[in-house]
Structure 1
Amino acid sequence: MTTRTLYLLCSAAPPVFEIASVVEEAQARGWDVCLGLTPTAAEWLEDDLDGLAALSRHPVRSRYKKPGQPDVWPAADAVLVAPATMNTINSWALGITGTWLVGFVAEAIGKGIPLTAMPRVNSAYAQHPQFPLSVETLRAAGVRVLFGPDGFEPNAPGEKRPYPWAAALDAVGEQRS
């Protein structure tokens, strides 16, 4: 079996604290995993970054590289953006590339890299008028957005329930050739 490269890109939402086990599960499914984080997610996981880099066998990225610096990851065969916060989804859909993570996925649309996203927003955020527009914009651009019955369904503010990581990894796996 040929190993393919998955960019696992995470926003700062509570499921990011489970990311080590998600990396391990993706590896068990045959992926070479490169972990990218928003700056806030990197701050939340700062004590674990070295261990996550060792686990994935790649540096954890959260910032743009300097012009002229070489890429530190192999090319992506697929990208999973999860958990994707309202900020990440809206910024991506609107092309606001203030973070490396959003800049990468915005460009990846044009490069034709298979993209899957699974939001993690509560029901109050989901009712904001921009959020459904952003989800539809990304879908229209070819991003598989796992939101609703086949992915993440918003919880009430403050409600805690498991994030459907397996559904996200299954969806990415369906893109494998």
Structure 2
Amino acid sequence: MADQPGRPFLYVVVCAAGNAGDVGELITAAQRRAWEVGVIATPQGLGFIDQLAIEAQTGYPIRSAWRRPGEPRPLPPADAIVVAPATFNTINKWAAGISDTLALGILCEAYGSGVPVVVLPHLNEAQAAHPAYSQSLQRLRDMGVLIDDRQPSPPNAGGGAFHWERAWELLATAFPR
């Protein structure tokens, strides 16, 4: 399945949240829509996913660290990016232009490259109440990032069901048919 010409390529950036282990649902949905998928995990996000299963499903290695000079690029360029689940930490660092992980570096470069980005936040009400969060969301929106408006969960509630399909509803605005 990997690297089939003519198929759009989706990067899925996975952060450290309890529902990250279900990212295969998003990958399956992308593949049904004839997208190829590569996963980029934050360093902490790696511990929340089944790396072997995802690599088997996508046909690509999961990226989490920068490649060394001279190493080939393991993924084709992205046609779109979905950040899901997107944590408080990642959203705020990205909006501030902090690029201290591969995932954040890719997100920071997406703006300058014109790659459409969709974000499905996953945080609780206590985190969302912090003033930096609303400021970060506004900055990302001003950059053209498409952000799910799902309400944060109550603290210690476990987050509830995650709406992976919302990524496709938002991406449809960037890729009208």
Matched letter for residue 174 of structure 1? T
Matched letter for residue 38 of structure 2? C
Which runs of 5 or more structure 2 residues have no equivalent in the other structure?
A: 1-5
TM-score by length of 1: 0.91
2:68 pairs, out of 48, 66, 69, with 66
* Deviation (angstroms), 1:28: 0.9
* Deviation (angstroms), 1:14: 1.2
Partner of 2:136: 134
Matched letter for residue 32 of structure 2? A
Where do 1:69-80 residues align within 5 Å? Answer: 69-80=71-82
1:89, 1:3 → 2: CA distance?
Answer: 29
1:10, 1:80 → 2: CA distance?
Answer: 9
Report if the CA contact (8 A) 2:14-2:40 is conserved: yes
Report if the CA contact (8 A) 2:17-2:48 is conserved: no
2:169, 2:118 → 1: CA distance?
Answer: 11
2:30, 2:119 → 1: CA distance?
Answer: 15
Which runs of 5 or more structure 1 residues have no equivalent in the other structure?
A: none
* Deviation (angstroms), 1:60: 0.7
Partner of 1:8: 12
Matched letter for residue 54 of structure 2? L
2:153 pairs, out of 149, 152, 155, with 155
Report if the CA contact (8 A) 2:7-2:35 is conserved: yes
2:28, 2:70 → 1: CA distance?
Answer: 32
Q: Deviations over 1:45-85 (max 9, x none)?
A: 3xx21221111011111111112322111111100011100
1:13, 1:44 → 2: CA distance?
Answer: 7
1:164, 1:70 → 2: CA distance?
Answer: 34
Partner of 1:34: 38
Aligned length: 170
Matched letter for residue 117 of structure 1? V
2:18, 2:144 → 1: CA distance?
Answer: 27
Report if the CA contact (8 A) 2:12-2:82 is conserved: yes
1:173, 1:55 → 2: CA distance?
Answer: 23
Q: Following superposition, which runs of at least 4 residues in structure 1 exceed 3 angstroms of deviation?
A: none
Report if the CA contact (8 A) 2:12-2:40 is conserved: yes
1:132, 1:82 → 2: CA distance?
Answer: 18
1:110, 1:144 → 2: CA distance?
Answer: 16
1:107, 1:14 → 2: CA distance?
Answer: 27
Amino-acid identity (%): 34
Change (3 A) 1:27 1:173: farther
TM-score by length of 2: 0.91
